[in-house]
């Protein structure tokens, strides 16, 4: 059975795909190779701001971003990952 966490991750990717008009192959491949928790953790703490964050920010959908998912399900992630996600959500327009 798919839980809400899985649904939220898949929904975030689908919103991103709709916004860019193409399949998010690199994101899906990363999730397949690493699993959702590790993939989201790596993306959120990456010093490079992800295109998905920018796209969802510009469409006022940050509440559907990986960062929002990490904060929502913070018990699944390490503290530094949650802190990075929270910082990005609090400073979306300070990021290029």
Q: Structural domain boundaries of the chain?
A: 4-94
Nearest Cα neighbor of 40 from 15, 74, 17, 63 is 74
Give the tens place of pLDDT for each residue, 86-95: 999 999 887 6
Question: 0.85 cut: is pTM over it?
Answer: yes
Give the tens place of pLDDT for each residue, 39-72: 999 999 988 778 888 889 999 999 999 999 999 9
């Amino acid at each position: 059975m798919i839980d809400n966490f899985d649904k939220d991750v898949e929904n975030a990717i689908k919103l991103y795909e709709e916004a860019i008009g193409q399949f998010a192959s690199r994101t899906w491949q990363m999730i397949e190779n690493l699993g959702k928790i590790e993939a989201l953790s790596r993306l959120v703490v990456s010093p490079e701001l992800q295109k998905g964050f920018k796209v969802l920010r510009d469409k006022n959908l940050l509440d559907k971003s990986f960062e929002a998912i990490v904060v929502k399900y913070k018990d699944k992630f390490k503290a530094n990952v949650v802190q990075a996600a929270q910082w990005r959500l609090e400073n979306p327009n300070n990021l290029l």
